[in-house]
Amino acid sequence: KHISNTMVTTRLVGAAQRRLPHHILSQSSSNRSACSSSRRILLSQRAFIGAQHITQTPNTSLSSSRLMSTSPDVDEESTSDSPPPPLDKKLLASIYNQQRSVYNNTVSTLRKQYFAEIQQQRERENRLRALEEEKIKRAALERRRIKALRVAANAQREIEKRGARRLEWEKELEITQRERDAKKALYRRAKQKIVDELESEAHLWLTTPEEVEKALGNPTASQKLWARPGGMIGAQSGQDTGFGDDGEFWRYECHTWDARPTYKSPKEVMLEELENMAYLQTNNSEHYWTKERVEAEERKEQRARLRAIVREEGRRALLEKQRQMMKDVYGGEEAKTERQKGEKGAKLPATTMPAPKLDYLADYEAQERAGVEMLQRDPTKFFIFESDLPNAKNLGGLQGSGDDADSGL
């Protein structure tokens, strides 16, 4: 019965397809390829169900002749020109729904199968990736472990080197300390020997405090040593003394002008004058500093000033002479200009002039000799004569020549 129903249904569907219009067939042709597989599956399932039914009910009312008699009818109907029976819309809708259901179930099954396969593939890839990452991580940890062992070994080796070096340093320090102690002991013995020798000779040159106070504590000695410059503690300076000329001590004199960059106010100038007056009144004695003694000290100061001016002019003359000699040897600005131009093929001038030597600045005797020569050649650079002073015929005097007025006496 199931087989006959299937065959009837197939015959009706074939007849319905032959009677369908052309535009309906063209629209359904696109879905035919998609539904062909599901249709084959459906027909095979129905055939399997029919066969199972036949095997379960062998005593069927339909005979083989009845089944075989239907095939000539199909051929005859297919070859006949009689119009097919009308189609049942409900039957067609039922067939379509069954095919659509089979297709959806098949697609759903395939999708589930594909999803399961994709999930398995992803899990397999994740496992492989995890194994690879674990392998890389294990290798990195192994490298770190080896590096840490190497660093620890290097640190231990460095600690051992430091310990050995410290032991060597302590030994060197001990040896150096022994040598230093021996040298200090030798110095102490030498100093003590000098002190013993001086103590044995002390009665020959040492004086008592009473003798020192008697020689330097009286007002006359105090005024002579401290009131004016040029004195020396404990002895006098001059040609008649054992210390020679007093000009030798003026070599170390310097000016102590105020180097502030601002001008002094009238109040500050007045206070300084009052301070100088108070200092002179306090320290200078009018009984000792008579007119003759003051003039003698002024003459000594003038001689010291003249010697300083002569030495300064001599130093300037020596430096200028040295500069001229170096210019003759190395050339001056003209040689520098020619050297910068440097014409091709021309003879190059001498090298650049080096910095001059300053040995003349320490040779005071040479400076004084050069200054004395200048003094004998032109005394007007050092002195102001009476003819140069302002008078009825020369009201300006040396005011027009500032250089001579500044350097003269």
Q: Which of 108, 128, 148 is the last residue of a domain?
A: 128
Q: Which two tokens mark 294?
A: 């003051």
The reply to whether 366 falls in a domain is: no
Residue 80, SS3 per DSSP: coil
Average pLDDT over residues 235-241: 55
The reply to whether 217 falls in a domain is: no
**Residue (of 4, 1, 3, 8) closest to 95 by Cα position:** 8
The reply to whether 74 falls in a domain is: yes
Residue 17 structural domain? 2-128
The reply to whether 359 falls in a domain is: no
The reply to whether 230 falls in a domain is: no
Give the pLDDT score at 308: 87
The reply to whether 159 falls in a domain is: no
The reply to whether 84 falls in a domain is: yes
When pLDDT is cut at 50, 70 and 90, the band that residue 128 belongs to is very high
Cβ density class 336-358: b for 16+ within 10 Å, e for less: eeeeeeeeeeeeeeeeeeeeeee
Q: Write the pLDDT tens digit of every residue in 325-383.
A: 888 877 655 655 655 555 554 555 556 777 777 777 788 888 999 999 999 998 888 88
Kindly compute the dihedral angle of the four CA atoms of residues 387, 392, 396, 397, in this order, to the nearest 10 degrees: 10
The reply to whether 353 falls in a domain is: no
Q: Per-residue pLDDT for 66 more than 50?
A: no
Global pTM value: 0.35
255 Cβ neighbours under 8 A, 6+ residues apart: none
Residue whose pair of structure tokens reads 């404990």 in the numeric block: 234
Weakest mean pLDDT among 87-91, 149-153, 251-255 = 251-255
397 Cβ neighbours under 8 A, 6+ residues apart: 388, 389, 390, 391
Q: Which of 128, 154, 188 is the last residue of a domain?
A: 128
**Residue (of 153, 279, 302) closest to 226 by Cα position:** 279
Neighbours of 261 (CB within 10 A): 4
CA distances from 277 to 73, 227, 228, 270, 289 (A): 164, 13, 14, 11, 15
**Residue (of 10, 71, 81) closest to 39 by Cα position:** 10
The Cα 104–Cα 110 span in angstroms is: 10
Domain count, the chain: 2
